[in-house]
Structure 1
Amino acid sequence: MRGKRKHVYQHIIEDLKRQIAEGKIRHNEPLPTQIELARMYNTSEITSRRALAELANEGIISRTRGKGSFLKQETERTAYNGLQQRAELSQIYFVYNNEIASAYHHRFFSDLLTGIKEECELHGIPFYIWGMDDEFQMPEGDDIGIILHPHLKNGNEMPLDLLRQWKEEGKRLVTVHFYYPHLQIPYVIVDNFVGGYLATEHLLSLGHERIGIILTGKSPVEMNQEFALRLQGYKLALTQHRVAFDLELVCVLDGERESEQMGAEGLNRLMSLEQRPTAIFATSDSKAIGAIKAAGKRGLLVPDDVSIIGYDDILVSQFTIPSLTTINQNTLLLGKRAAQILLFERKSEQMRDEIVPQLIIRSSTGEAKTASPEYST
């Protein structure tokens, strides 16, 4: 029996690594863009995008929006072995806003903080957590590195003029989860676009074509970065499978934080449509769990009557009935990379890293009952 066939993105990665080893790709020359790679390997841009993101996650290349992907110099690639002189930081802080302190019990943040802590301990750098008050006071000192989560109450973000001021003052900043390219502040984010694509593509691969999506925001055009990008990924997956985008299947709910109640309300709205969806992408585990409970109250079986996928892979998601198919955001690596940028990258203002999330398949998704021949397996 033959071994498991490799995915196209893995072939792209291996081929690029071979070219690097043979000296065909040099550190001062850009790699092919995701569009060029897609053409070269006769595949989709989402596949070539994933290949580049995986190489960036391995520390082999660096990616800069508007400029492209570049092979890291040898001193950069060996930074994690201690061969590169470390920037003179005495301590690193994770800075958050006190308004949403309760949200930091979420697995996203526990894994993020663990990643930062492990990287700091590896290099003997003290790590602290700093809660900002309404006056947005920050830790002071030229030898302090700051990992900032610029998220406020009600889904708002910190004022841009404040971030611009900190940048001009020379504070050594890295933002996580949100980014501001025009401010030239380095950032590390989870690729929510890819995450939204992976979740939707999974449902499409099971034969679902009428797929509802539950989002947090004020309207389909007014929501924060993470949900807007998940919606874009959802749309791309539909397009690639030649399934028409239907605004009727987009349910946007306003709320200060993710909740099961939002998921229940979203499912009830979608299931009240004349043409009901056979699957729902809830865009967070809290909403997905609420949707599963609401489905049960309506006498619907998950996944027999409706498949439901979440996003976050919170700890309880593996213990729900049925266990929840979801997207793991790989935030442990997110934390490590944020600390590494502060510790090792001399030109950190040029650093922009995107971490690739992972599809976790459990029991809440299954094949559509009326799958079309094109998508049935």
Structure 2
Amino acid sequence: MLTEKSAKTPMYQFIMDDIKGKIAEGILKPHDPLPTQIDLARQYNTSEITSRRALSDLVQEGYIYRVRGKGSFVKENAAETSPKAISTIYFAQRNMDVQLYNHRFFADTLAGIKEVCEENGTPFYLWDIGPNYELPDDPNAGIVLASDDQFDLTQLIKWRDEGRRIVTVHFYYPHLNIPYVIVDNLTGGYLATQHLLSLGHERIGIILTGASMVEMNQEFSLRLQGYRLALSQHQIPFDPELVCVMDNDKEKPEMGYEGFKTLMSKKDRPTAIFATSDYKAFGAINAAREMGISVPEDMSIVGYDDLVMSQYTYPNLTTVNQNTKKLGERAAEMLLFELQESQGKTLKDEIVPRLIVRDSCAEAKE
């Protein structure tokens, strides 16, 4: 049984080694109950997330088992058959674009993963899958996979069948039974539209990204659904004339600029616009200024993403923060604490975004 902790030993590992020692010495016998994660945290003067990591890894290494509603117990023939705990977590993406990590979605996601990994003494790295779809050569690695709508699903199925430990973010594939964490984009679209409706706007334009209204990726399709849901709850008919879809591979201010001018060319102009990214919102504000339309006095504009720049634009941009730090935290927690105990059920979580109200919206004129 351990009595001292080395300065280099992570606390979760110290707890695990202490419990393993008690099992080896017969102090803890098969089917003996263990303290709860709350009691362990108090006993070792640490956080609950650390004690939960210790218990979860002891389950993965085959030393203990859990009974829902009753607690954790010492296993018969401890550590003989169970898979090893996750050694390292990688944030993996295909053909990694370094510039992409300046975007708040990815920057905050990485910060969330890193925080959980540091708390639990788990190394964390970025990994470029590349054109050949190569994962790290480590069967005990945990992979947070940032896929897209061009991702080769046959590779994902192959990794699943190989038993690779993967949680997808950004996009998800429920039919593959692969764990995922996503931002609730429907709620995000709803929050943006509801805010404009609460200010009395009824003619609300929306600028989206895609090839057409029916050819959009998951993110923008769900934001459109949220927009439509908010309108329907206020008994406002959906008007396709107020939908502008811009086709581009990347989000750019020019898309919002052109989209704004398209909507302003309508006979019955909108009084507010939901631009489904901050980049498009920046372009819309520039177009409004060029056309002599004052924001927010004559036109209210809401963005999406809460980029750092959005709090410095004139006017400061009302937008939707996707809460992706929490997304990263949950992805790491699933890999470290929940994957082994899912028992064939699909692990999933949806992160609720937040509306950030600033100065780019005002009440509708009568």
TM-score (norm 2): 0.78
User: Partner amino acid for 2:305?
Assistant: D
Q: CA deviation at 1:105?
A: 1.4
What residue identity is the alignment partner of 1:82?
A: S
| Aligned position for 2:56 | 85
User: Any idea what the Cα deviations from partners look like across 1:180-230, whole Å, max 9, x if unmatched?
Assistant: 000001000110000000000000000000000000000111110000000
Amino acid in the other structure paired with 1:347 = E
- Identify which of 156, 159, 171 aligns with 1:163: 156
Note if 1:331 corresponds to 2:324: yes
Find the structure with the greater CA-based Rg: 2
The share of aligned pairs that are identical, in percent, is 58
Find 1:176's aligned residue among 169, 190, 198: 169
User: Where does structure 2 lack aligned partners over 5 or more consecutive residues?
Assistant: 1-35, 42-47, 61-84
Residue 115 (structure 2) pairs with residue 118 (structure 1): yes
Q: Does 1:289 align with 2:260?
A: no
Residue of structure 2 equivalent to 1:28? none
Within the candidate set 223, 228, 232, 1:235 is matched to 228
* 1:154-303 pair list within 5 angstroms: 156-303=149-296
Match for 2:352: what amino acid? V
Which one of 346, 350, 358 corresponds to residue 354 of structure 2?
358
1:347 partnered with 2:347: no
| Cα distance in 1 for residues equivalent to 2:37 and 2:161 | 28
Q: What is the CA-CA distance between 1:368 and the residue it aligns to?
A: 0.5
Q: Aligned to 2:333, what secondary structure does the other structure show?
A: helix
Structure 2 distance, partners of 1:100, 1:120, is 23
Distance in 2, matches of 1:97 and 1:106, equals 17
8 A contact 2:204–2:272 mirrored in 1:
yes
For the residue of structure 1 that corresponds to 2:56, the secondary structure is coil
4+ aligned runs moved over 6 Å, structure 1: none
Structure 2 residue 134 is the aligned partner of structure 1 residue 137: yes
Segment drifting more, 231-240 vs 98-107:
98-107
The CA deviation at 1:160 is 1.6
User: Tell me, what secondary structure is at the counterpart of 2:349?
Assistant: strand
Distance 2:360 2:294 in 1: 10
Structure 1: gaps of 5 or more residues: 1-73, 371-377
Aligned to 2:74: none
Give the whole-Å Cα distance in 1 for the aligned partners of 2:265 and 2:182.
36
Distance 1:75 1:322 in 2: 48
**AA matched with 2:363:** E
Whichever residue aligns with residue 356 of structure 1, its letter is: V
Counterparts of residues 4-19 of structure 1 (less than 5 Å): none
User: Whole-Å Cα distance in 2 between the matches of residues 333 and 140 of structure 1?
Assistant: 28
Paired with 2:96 and 2:258, the residues of 1 have a C-alpha distance of 25
Offset, 1:102: 2.4
The 8 Å contact of residues 253 and 283 in structure 2, kept in 1 or not, is answered as: yes
1:101 CA drift (Å)? 3.7
Q: Which structure carries more relative contact order (alpha carbon 8 Å, separation 6+)?
A: 1
Task: Read off the aligned partner of 2:111 and give its amino acid letter.
Answer: T
> Which residue identity lines up with residue 149 of structure 1 in the other structure?
A
User: Quick check: 92-101 or 245-254, which moved more?
Assistant: 92-101
Quote the offset at 1:158 in angstroms: 0.6
- Alignment deviations for residues 344-371 of structure 1 (CA, whole Å, 9 cap, x no partner): 002345210000000000000110012x
How far 1:85 sits from its partner (Å)?
Answer: 2.7
- The two structures have a TM-score, normalised by structure 1, of 0.75
**Secondary structure class of the residue paired with 1:251:** strand
Give 1:89 shift: 1.0
Specify the alignment match of 1:64 in structure 2.
Answer: none
**Two-structure CA RMSD over aligned residues (Å):** 1.7
Distance 1:256 1:185 in 2: 27
